[in-house]
Structure 1
């Protein structure tokens, strides 16, 4: 099965473009309730998240938002967020290693 890598299909809200993974990780640490280290090849709503492992994802629980960074080939690293549901949050908790 071919994984979809078109992050635009998630209709994400852009938090910051042309950032670095380190800046994105720091933002996630400061601005989310929970943070997870995700395994290589993980997906959000069926979209494969690209980046150099380890990748980190944050959860804003009250708003049910998923905050993540994504490497757009030829464009750089973008920090984004998408609305999630209980199943999305449970999947991240199950597949990831909790950091905070």
Structure 2
């Protein structure tokens, strides 16, 4: 995909810290994976304070996204292939 703006996403949290995002993911989703800053998801590099949690819920991927001058958002995007790729990394 490459550009978050072109994705069909749902905003779960606005102006969230990375800790708030991590706690929300771990508290609300059964599956998650921790990654380091610079991890590539949807052809976009994730930035933030490690560990960065990425949640999985069926075909949905939940991840924090920082937009310069706008803050950090916790986004939910449906993508079967990306969810499957992330699940393989957990093994």
TM-score (norm 2): 0.80
CA-CA distance at 1:10 after TM superposition: 2.2
Structure 1 pair 76/19, CA: closer, same or farther in 2 (3 Å)?
same
Cα distance, 1:79 vs. partner? Answer: 0.8
Q: From 66, 83, 88, give the equivalent of 2:82.
A: 88
Q: Which runs of 5+ in 1 are unaligned?
A: none
The alignment partner of 2:19 has SS state of: helix
**CA distance in 2 between partners of 1:39 and 1:51 (Å):** 8
CA displacement at 1:43 relative to structure 2: 2.5
Pick aligned residue for 1:52 from 46, 49, 71: 49
CA RMSD of aligned residues (A): 2.0
